[in-house]
């Protein structure tokens, strides 16, 4: 195996790269942002009364739309305000969809990170830092999600709901898969744990005691399995070797996330059992 040194490049001042090139890369492969299996619904989307935003992405299974603004170089206050303004306008125009604001910038400075974090308490907002590296004459892009929706947070008061809510938002099949994971793996680790239905996710609880070493976000055709573990090469390798779709690691909340189907669970139950046992053992440390 050969190794090559990667050189960090300034995308904003790169002679062969522009914001239009970044937009094209995302259009060609929306998965580069690590937001899941999304489709492009609009580019340079104009809004009533003037203004336009870079991209509108959509999760067709879950009727969630992402209002995306791109910026090379460091983000600034106008970039943040503009993104939130466009998100609000789209949300008002199409209230039948959930909308999430997404800021993508080359440099999310600590000064503006604090501002973005304040907005995140009131607005569904994701911030992604995208950096460029040159490797052997090829330009590679590396996105890192530095601020997420924060829906899996035991410190917040989770808004309770019920199974029917998730059968409608996801599907009966995806709920049955959640049942299988809990019965076949979770309850083998701790028999008293049951599903706890919240508005943004399905967690685990034993009576009043919440124990979200894993949690679930059911979709129409699969379940996003959220595993609370610190990021490590060993765990990442184990998950990648299974071949299950692995979403971007949530650094803020120390969560691995993967897309799980019945077939994937049947094939990799034992490997998942080991990883979930480690998450259970580490929970609360």
Q: What is the mean pLDDT of residues 100-127?
A: 75
Looking at the fold, whether 180 and 108 belong to one and the same domain comes out as no
User: In this structure, how many other beta carbons lie within 10 angstroms of the beta carbon of residue 187?
Assistant: 14
What global pTM score does this model have? 0.56
Same domain, 171 and 107: no
8 Å CB contact between 252 and 148: yes
Residue 250 has which token pair? 């949530």
In terms of domains, do 96 and 168 share one?
Answer: no
Structural domain containing residue 47: 7-147
Q: Tokens 């120390």 identify what position?
A: 254
pLDDT in tens, 227-254: 999 888 999 999 999 999 988 787 656 7
Angle at 251 between CA 277 and CA 168, to 5 degrees: 70
Domain boundary among 118, 147, 176: 147
Q: Are residues 30 and 143 in the same domain?
A: yes
pLDDT tens-digit profile of 20-35? 898 999 999 988 888 8
Reported residue count of the chain is 285
Looking at the fold, whether 52 and 176 belong to one and the same domain comes out as: no
In the chain, pLDDT over 70 holds for what percent of residues?
Answer: 87
Would residue 128 count as lying in a domain?
yes
133 lies in the same domain as 16: yes
Please indicate, yes or no, if residue 157 is contained in any of the structural domains.
Answer: no
Query: Pick from 114, 147, 180: which residue ends a domain?
Result: 147
Q: Are residues 64 and 142 in the same domain?
A: yes
pLDDT-derived band at 112 (thresholds 50, 70, 90) equals low
- 25 shares its domain with 88: yes
How many structural domains are present in the chain?
2
The pLDDT of residue 114 is: 67
Residues 100 and 176 in one domain: no
Q: Do 128 and 185 share a domain, yes or no?
A: no
Rounded CA-CA distance 254/251 in Å is 5
């Amino acid at each position: 195996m050969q190794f090559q040194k990667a050189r960090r490049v300034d995308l904003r001042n790169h002679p062969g790269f522009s914001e239009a090139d970044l937009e094209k890369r995302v259009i060609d492969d929306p998965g580069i942002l690590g937001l899941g299996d999304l489709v492009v619904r609009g580019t340079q989307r104009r809004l009533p009364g003037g203004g336009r935003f870079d991209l509108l992405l959509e999760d067709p299974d879950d009727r969630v739309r992402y209002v995306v603004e791109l910026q090379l170089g460091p983000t600034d206050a106008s970039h943040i305000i503009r993104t939130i303004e466009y998100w609000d306008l789209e949300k008002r125009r199409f209230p039948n969809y959930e909308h999430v604001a997404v800021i993508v910038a080359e440099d999310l400075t600590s000064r503006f990170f604090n501002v973005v974090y304040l907005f995140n308490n009131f607005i569904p907002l994701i911030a992604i830092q995208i950096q460029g590296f040159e490797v052997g004459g090829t330009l590679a892009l590396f996105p890192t999600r530095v601020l997420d929706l924060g829906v899996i947070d035991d410190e917040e008061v989770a808004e309770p709901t019920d199974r029917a809510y998730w059968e409608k938002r996801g599907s009966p099949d995806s709920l049955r898969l959640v049942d299988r994971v809990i019965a076949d793996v979770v309850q083998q680790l701790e028999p008293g744990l049951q599903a706890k239905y919240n508005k943004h996710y399905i967690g685990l609880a034993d009576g009043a005691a919440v124990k979200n070493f894993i949690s679930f976000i059911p979709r129409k055709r699969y379940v996003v399995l959220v595993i609370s573990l610190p990021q490590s090469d060993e765990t990442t390798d184990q998950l990648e070797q299974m071949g299950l779709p692995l979403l971007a690691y949530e650094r803020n909340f120390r969560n691995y996330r993967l897309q799980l189907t019945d077939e994937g669970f049947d094939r990799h139950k034992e490997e998942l059992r080991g990883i979930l046992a480690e998450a259970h053992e580490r929970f609360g440390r």
